[in-house]
Amino acid sequence: MSDGPPSIWEWIGRNWDTGRADSIRNLLTDHLTMSLVPIVLSLVLALPLGLACARWRWLYQPTSGLMNVIYALPSLPVFMLLISVTGLSQTTVIIPLTFYGMAVLIPAVVDGLRSVPDHVRQSAVAMGFTPLRRLLRVELPIAVPVVLAGLRVVAVSSISLVSVGALIGQGGLGGLFTRAYQNPFMPPVIVGIVLIVALALVADALIVLAQRLLTPWVRARKGMAS
């Protein structure tokens, strides 16, 4: 019994906190960092860019075109290119993921702002909102559901995509998969998959929760429709 391969629980117990860089705990922390930073960063960058694209319509086509090209680039050559600048660091993973996130979120911000009905915008103007106040109090709040729907996609895909970084030794939990090449031993692969999916589900649930708190009026509308 003790001579055979360890069970998955034994393997987790032994590798959870070894103090080494590749302990499950450290990989999990790395994974969180490399996915959360791009999620937050892409939202922070996409908001002003999306606003600019909604304000100056001619800007939208070239911006979304460029973002789509970036989105289409395979990650491996992007890593290769970035390594010469940022080395084998987490930054090399974070930068492309941020761009991927922006590629989803810029159109989401633009669509969100476009979802503001014209009569609502007109009545805000007519009641004496200044342009900035109108943006902050009327247009952005109404855009929130569409932006958050985009953010859910970004969160889940970022958490999943981080593992590709394992190709350059920065894959967070993705590091558990590369070992399977050297040694056909399944527990690390299963642990990696389960943890990544669990992270994605938790992140998604948090965003849904935020959405419910921020936009009670959307639920009210759905309740009305059903």
Neighbours of 139 (CB within 10 A): 21
Q: Which residues fall within 8 angstroms of residue 100, CB to CB, at 6 or more apart?
A: 38, 42, 70, 71, 154, 157, 158, 161
The single residue among 3, 127, 181, 213 that binds other proteins, judged by CB under 8 A, is: 127
The single residue among 22, 41, 141, 190 that binds other proteins, judged by CB under 8 A, is: 141
What SS3 string covers 132-190?
HHHHHHHHHHHHHHHHHHHHHHHHHHHHHHHHHHHHHCCCHHHHHHHHHHHCCCHHHHH
Tell me if 114 contacts other proteins by CB under 8 A: no
Q: Which is nearer to other proteins, 106 or 143 (CB)?
A: 143
Tell me if 129 contacts other proteins by CB under 8 A: yes
The single residue among 123, 185, 197, 198 that binds other proteins, judged by CB under 8 A, is: 123
Tell me if 132 contacts other proteins by CB under 8 A: no
Q: Which is nearer to other proteins, 73 or 220 (CB)?
A: 220
Tell me if 224 contacts other proteins by CB under 8 A: yes
The single residue among 65, 85, 117, 136 that binds other proteins, judged by CB under 8 A, is: 117
